[in-house]
Structure 1
Amino acid sequence: MNIKRNWAGIVSGFLLFTVVCLSLSLNVTGAFRASGHSELGLLFFVLPGAAASFLSRRGEVIRPLLGAMLAAPVCLLLMRVLFVSSRSFLQELAWLMSGVFWCALGALCFLFVRRMLHRRRHRK
Structure 2
Amino acid sequence: MNIKRNWSGVACCFLLFTAVCVSLTFKLKGAFFSAGYPGLGLLFFTLPGIAASFFSRGGEVIRPLMGAILAAPVCLVVMRMMFISSRTLVQELAWLLSGIFWCALGALCFLFVRRALEHRRVKVKTPSE
Larger radius of gyration: 2
Instruction: State the one-letter code of the partner of 1:45.
Output: F
For 1:37, give the aligned amino acid: Y
Report % sequence identity.
68
User: Counterparts of 1:53-92 in structure 2 under 5 Å?
Assistant: 53-92=53-92
Equivalent-residue separation in structure 1 for 2:29 and 2:15 (angstroms): 21
State the TM-score, normalized to the length of structure 2: 0.95
Q: Can you give the 5+ residue segments of structure 2 that lack an aligned partner in the other structure?
A: 125-129
Q: Please report the TM-score for the alignment, with normalisation by the length of structure 1.
A: 0.99
Separation in structure 1 between the aligned mates of residue 37 and residue 54 of structure 2, nearest angstrom: 30
- Equivalent positions of 1:20-59 (< 5 A) are 20-59=20-59
CA distance in 2, matches of 1:103, 1:123: 30
1:101 counterpart letter in structure 2: F
Q: CA deviation at 1:117?
A: 0.2
4+ residue runs of structure 1 moved beyond 4 angstroms?
none
